[in-house]
Amino acid sequence: MIIDLHIHSKNSDGSLSTKEIFEIAKLKNICLMSITDHDSILCQEKASNLAKESGIRYFSGVELNISFIDTRYTKQKPIYLDFLGYNFDFENSQFQNKLEEMAQYRQKRAMKILKKLNAEFRKTQIKELTKEDLIQIKSSVDGVFGRPHIADYLFKKGIVQNRNEAFDKYLVKCNVAKYPLYPKDAARIVRNAGGKVILAHPNDPHGTSLIEVAKSLDKQTEIITDSILQFIDGIECWHSRSDLTTTNHYVKYSKENGLLMTGGSDCHQKPILMGTVKVPAYVANQF
């Protein structure tokens, strides 16, 4: 059984439409999947319908960016983590309203980032971005507007050579604080909609994870036990950037604490990673 419970569409920062994702999933013989767009559930109704047509078992999904503060580990500055929400009612009005509030904040945040970018461009005599540029960036977005869309536009304009350079050279420096969604609030809105909350890629070396405050796996699980455990129902143990040591550590921890275990590719764009992470079949039966 091929399982992938972590896929992104064009509704957030992926490159594939919902329909394209299901076409590829069918070709790859994926049996169970979930589209987990960042702070967006706009594609969930369509995904649910396509899943039925394709004969693929499907869980509603979302990936929420979390502001985590515990002065024992993070001092006064928050670090960012990701929670995956699964199998919730995507028609739940409280959930929809919260995500709409977050989407509006993203728009304001993007405007502030563009202003900071222009300040940097003035230093090196790069042509500043205008309202027309903003319109073009927005037109490329099917759902939630974020920094990856700005990065792609900087590449399109020839200002950078690729998305990574856009972040390294400009977007990290010009960043603006994300929407402050705290673990207890994220857990509440997902659980109130009937869903389960999963801590995503806890040891991801290239993403939002606990590695920012603890490189030791034992220290990471100590932090989870002390500060996060009550707000999650499971952990993403299999991930495209998790090595065997990380996977084994988190499988053991999950079993010891009665947590769900999930996994997925975290596929955003080409190359297509969907279905490439070997997630055990028993993961499906947990739900």
pLDDT at 110: 84
Q: Give the rounded distance of the alpha carbon of 280 from its chain centre.
A: 22
- 137 — pLDDT class (breaks 50, 70, 90): confident
Per residue in 24-82, pLDDT (tens digit) is 999 999 999 999 999 999 999 999 999 999 999 999 999 999 999 998 888 778 899 99
Domain ranges of the chain: 2-98+179-285, 99-171
Return the CATH fold of 99-171: DNA polymerase; domain 1 (1.10.150)
pLDDT at 139: 72
List the structure tokens of 271. 């190359």
Burial class of residue 193 (count of CB atoms within 10 Å of its CB; 0-12, 13-18, 19+): buried
Q: What is the DSSP string of the chain?
A: -EEEEEE--TTTT-SS-HHHHHHHHHHTTEEEEEE--BT--TTHHHHHHHHHHHT-EE--EEEEEEEE--TTTTTTS-EEEEEEEES--TT-HHHHHHHHHHHHHHHHHHHHHHHHHHHHHHHTTPPPP-HHHHHHHHHT-SS---HHHHHHHHHHTTSSSSHHHHIIIIITTT--PPP---HHHHHHHHHHTT-EEEE--TT-TTSSSGGGT--SHHHHHHHIIIIIGGG-SEEEEEETT--HHHHHHHHHHHHHTT-EEEEE--B-SSS--TT-S---THHHHT-
Integer distance in angstroms from the first to the last C-alpha of the chain?
Answer: 15
- 203 — pLDDT class (breaks 50, 70, 90): very high
**CB–CB of 84/59 below 8 Å?**
no
pLDDT at 136: 82
Return the CATH fold of 2-98+179-285: TIM Barrel (3.20.20)
- Average the pLDDT over 148-164 and give the result: 89
pLDDT at 143: 59
Average pLDDT score, the chain: 92
Rounded Cα distance between 164 and 177, Å, is: 20
